[in-house]
Chains A and B, each alone.
Chain A
Amino acid sequence: MSRGWRELRRGRLALPGAAVVCAFAVAALLAPWLAPADPTRSDLANVLARPGAAHLLGTDELGRDMLSRIIHGARLSMLEGLFAVGLALALGLPLGLAAGYAGGTVDAVLMRVVDVLLAFPGVLLAVAVVSILGPGLWNAMVAVAIYSVPVFARLARGSTLAVKQEVYIEGCRALGMSNLRIVGRHVLPNIAAPLLVMAALRVAVAILTASSLSFLGLGAQPPTPEWGAMLSNGRNYVLIAPHLVIFPGLAILLLVLGLNLLQEGLREALDPRITDR
């Protein structure tokens, strides 16, 4: 434990990153208790109020408290990141495992499928999936998951290929173990670590992509307090009430930056070559 802590300290960026991510996680978990007001309650006598004592981050065009909406938005962003990455892992892992372990035709066919997914650049794949499923928060999360499947499939395949070479796998075969048992008992535990690390890294990308879809009107729909959707809505008032755009944007930026700092810090801490250079 103390060694792990020292390593974390060595990557100087990890701690501030972890602090930011923890703050957002707490906000997401305790949103109903932390938020000063109901995020959906409008107050038409008090619309587009500037940030001030009554409303720390001001109010939106329906008089809803921005701070409360941002705090509740943390729930949606965390959900987007975790659900999309979880689903991507659940789809990509078996794909890559099957391709890597079976090899031959299975491998060739599955990897061509992955190549096809990778041929749609950037968010385009997610946008194309939403155009099939229809706009909405859950559909957008599925789209973001499909967008991340190739990453997990390729990593699972590569790790499986490496593990397959090991002598102990050959030993299992010699003992007459079934393929299913070898994969479940011996391959899977040995490829889990890199996949879990990648899953952690992809949360930031998933949050960014999901909020982009919401911004485009393809994800969470108003009045859901999703940061991308809030920002998109705030564009209509950007000249008279820029805080409707600034605060949701800062929230996404801070959370994603926190995740990226944490990731970079962990990389520095765990890979001594980087700091030695």
Chain B
Amino acid sequence: MIPFALRRLLLAAPVFAGVSLAVFLMIHLIPGDPARLYAGLEASQEDVEGVRRALGLHEPLPVQYGRFLGRFVTGDLGRSLKTGRPVAEEIAARYSSTVLLASLAIASAVVLGSATGVVAAVWRRSAVDQAALLASLLGLSLPSFFLGLVLMLVFSVQLGRLPLAGNATWRHAVLPAVTLALPAAAVISRMVRGSLVEVLEQDYIRTARSKGLTEWVVVNSHAVRNALIPVVTVVGLQLGYLLGGAVVTETVFSWPGIGRLIVQSIAARDFPVVQAAVLLLAVTFVTINLVTDMLYAVLDPRIRPG
């Protein structure tokens, strides 16, 4: 197990390096002089030169990249161009409210997706299976911004049961979490169904049935446990997509998360905030995938040597 973990970690190292390099280069890929981007469009030439000196933008790119990495690791992400406050401060609270939302969403998606997936697999080719297929295709086709607005219209405006927007109470989290959860549940449901259908055809399931065990016991204690192992990978990926997809959902519900911060900062041309937020989300995603792979190895001993 330990050698596997080390090997996997070693494989992730170039990805971390590449991600940080890509985000570092963002500011240099934007057409125009980076120093002017930081100083602002109406700054004088002296101000621009001052900013260039202060931020070390006159130095060779490799030196700048080294500095950028060093600062990121120590948590110094520069200052917001808009508010002048340290970016780390701007981001911290936003990041945790996005993580909260994504965790709520992934938990609901796993419950809903597994339940419908298991039901569809056990009664496969029945009307229930067809309905589950249609529901998941619908979930995959719904633009999240539309789903969010419709939920808002129904539950906040028409029924008046849930708050419109913001994050003051737990009730504010319900609609954005559902909006994020439904497409993820659709993917998980299809995955669980496919995996369980395959497991139910295995010899040991036939053995369990021929021992006279009830179908309930066969499915619950023999099949589902094994069928859920490959699903772990999908759940990890979906959690990452939820973090990225939060960009849209947070905008719909004015949820003060990191995704909405990114969109607002692009509009305000506040590049240090965009850079730091994008890098933080990417690093989170790569870390989630790393943890998922290791979890998979713990659950399924067959893949460890490979």
Contact = CB atoms under 8 A, between A and B. Distances in A.
Contacts of A211: 143
Contacts of B263: 127, 216-218
Contacts of A261: 137
Interface stretch (B79-87, B216-224, B281-289): B281-289
B144 A120 contact: no
Interface string B236-256: 000011111101100100000
B278 A212 contact: no
B285 A212 contact: no
Contact of A121 (B18, B243, B262, B274): B243
Contacts of B138: 257
Interface stretch (A33-41, A93-101, A153-161, A231-239): A231-239
A116 B281 contact: no
B43 interface: no
Interface string A201-245: 000100010011001111000000000100110010011001001
A115 interface: yes
B29 A132 contact: yes
Interface stretch (B1-9, B67-75, B146-154): B146-154
Contacts of A218: 263, 266
A106 interface: no
B18 A242 contact: no
Given A211-B143, A260-B137, A119 B248 contact: no
A113 interface: yes
Contacts of B245: 121-123
B140 interface: yes
B112 to A, nearest CB: 19
A124 B141 contact: no
A238 B153 contact: yes
B150 A120 contact: no
Interface in B203-247: 240-245, 247
A186 to B, nearest CB: 32
A122 B180 CA distance: 12
B143 A249 contact: yes
A26 to B, nearest CB: 20
B26 interface: yes
B124 interface: yes
Interface in B251-306: 251, 262-263, 266-267, 271, 274, 278, 281-282, 285-286
Chain B: number of interface residues, binned into ranges: 35 or more
Interface in B110-167: 124-125, 133, 137-138, 140-146, 149-150, 152-153, 157
B278 A120 contact: yes
A257 B142 CA distance: 8
B93 interface: no
A166 to B, nearest CB: 26
Interface residues of A, number: 46
B55 interface: no
Contact of B266 (A13, A131, A246, A253): A131
B197 A277 contact: yes
Contacts of A253: 141-143, 146
Nearest to B269: A131
Nearest to B244: A122
A181 interface: no
Contact of A212 (B145, B150, B153): B145
Contact of A120 (B21, B140, B282): B282
B19 interface: yes
B235 to A, nearest CB: 14
Contacts of A277: 124-125, 197, 201
5 contacts: A122-B244, A127-B278, A212-B145, A252-B146, A257-B141
Interface of B: 14-15, 18-19, 21-23, 26, 29-30, 124-125, 133, 137-138, 140-146, 149-150, 152-153, 157, 197, 201, 240-245, 247-248, 251, 262-263, 266-267, 271, 274, 278, 281-282, 285-286
Given A120-B278, A212-B145, A256-B143, 15 more contacts: A113-B18, A119-B15, A119-B286, A124-B247, A125-B244, A128-B26, A131-B271, A212-B144, A228-B145, A238-B152, A238-B157, A239-B157, A253-B146, A259-B141, A264-B137
